[in-house]
Amino acid sequence: MAAGTLKRRSREPRSPGRRTNPDSVGRAGRRRLETGRARKGKMQAAAAIAGSLTAGLKPGDILGVIRDRTRRVIGGECWALARLDRDNQAWEVTAAQVQSDGGPEFRGRVALDHPFLASILEFPGAPVFGLRSLGPGAGNPVPPFPVAAAFHILLPLVTGGHLTGVLVFGHSTGDSLDRSDREFLRLVADQAALALENAHLCEQVRASRAQLVSRQVALEHQLKRLTVTDDLTGLYNQRDLFEQLPREMERARRSGSACSLCLFDLDGFKEYNDTHGHLAGDRLLRTVGAVVSRTIRSKTDRAYRYGGDEFVLLLPHTSRAEARVLVDRIRRALSLALSDAVGFSAGIAEYSPGMESRDFIEAADRLMYRAKRKGGNRLEPEGARQRGSA
């Protein structure tokens, strides 16, 4: 053959049996077009699900979004989410629902080798399609999951390359799902894995915040307690007395209720301290604090160490006569606890309108010293005199 010339390839005559039917070519094209459109619609539905699974959703809300959206695309009868808890060797079923909104739900833990979920562990990351469900009377391995479908599909939830859970999808004709349906479910499972992990992290953050807030409140309460508490006796200190007394007096003035104030000290405490030493004296004061604390009414009364061996009782809603009963009970309890090592002299004053805090304290103080002048170890509740009286 001369250079530059091309060899013409001869065509064989087309066999009559191989002739293409234009109608069949059209039907195949339409099927491919419909399949492509259906697949595109499912991919768009999967993307819409991803947009709906916003951060902060709880597992039940996540499953609700998945249930509603997948049901529109490929149907379905039941759904469940289970998180893999490797530390406790269990599945934490965070949500399970059936087709109707009012259907039964289950939340709780099931064993890691639960017969229904264990199959997902055999090939981590691989879906299990067409897991047939038997009826409850035939030893159904599905409970505690909803049993509303003939077939169940287990879709692994993978985060960071590790199996973190499973999405259960029940379908009455699960074995007839086509390739695009399964691809759609895989995409949904990927979104569910991310959403469930976010929900778990958000729950941990919420729990941590709640714990921090609780700890902060406890610390603030402890700090407040320390600033108003006497270290030795555990009673409130003088600072708290000057904060609380005006409030209780104002409350008594507005409501017309009674309010009494008792000031007492320990007769012979200085001699006891000089004889037995300061450590013994501190132990005695701690005993006084403990006895007073358990004798007063904890919800209404407040006890204070006023200074040295002097103590104050603030008794809201308490008349002078009622206060005398309570103070006498404290005197007898202290006498028993201290084996009469020291005496007990007390003055009890009752609030009257027009009094200032200083007047109220001085009234009780004068009565206490009157009790001491009369020999001590006694109560003086005869009422508050005017300032400047003997």
What structural domains and CATH numbers belong to the chain?
30-204 (3.30.450.40), 238-380 (3.30.70.270)
Q: Which two tokens stand for residue 358?
A: 């200083």
Question: Which amino acid makes up residue 39?
Answer: R
Q: Tokens 């894995």 map to which residue?
A: 193
pLDDT in tens, the chain (390 residues): 444 444 444 555 555 555 555 555 566 667 777 777 877 878 887 888 878 887 678 888 888 888 888 888 888 888 888 888 888 888 888 777 776 555 556 677 888 888 778 888 887 778 887 666 544 444 444 555 555 566 778 888 888 888 888 888 887 765 567 888 888 888 888 888 888 888 878 888 888 998 999 888 988 888 888 889 999 999 999 999 999 999 999 999 999 999 999 999 999 999 999 999 999 999 999 999 999 999 999 889 999 999 999 999 999 999 999 999 999 999 999 999 999 999 999 999 999 999 999 999 999 999 999 999 999 889 987 544 333 333
Name the burial class of residue 226, with classes exposed (0-12), middle (13-18) and buried (19+) by CB atoms within 10 angstroms of its CB: exposed
| DSSP label of 46 | H
| DSSP label of 386 | P
Alpha carbon distance 378, 333 (integer Å)? 14
Alpha carbon distance 292, 314 (integer Å)? 12
Q: Which two tokens stand for residue 192?
A: 């569910």
Q: Is 230 a catalytic residue?
A: no
Which one of the listed residues 274, 309, 359, 365 is annotated catalytic?
Answer: 309
Q: What is the pTM of this model?
A: 0.51
208 and 63 Cβ atoms separated by less than 8 Å: no
The values of phi and psi at residue 375, to 5°, are: 110, -10
If we measure between CA atoms, which residue out of 385, 372, 381 comes closest to residue 344?
Answer: 372
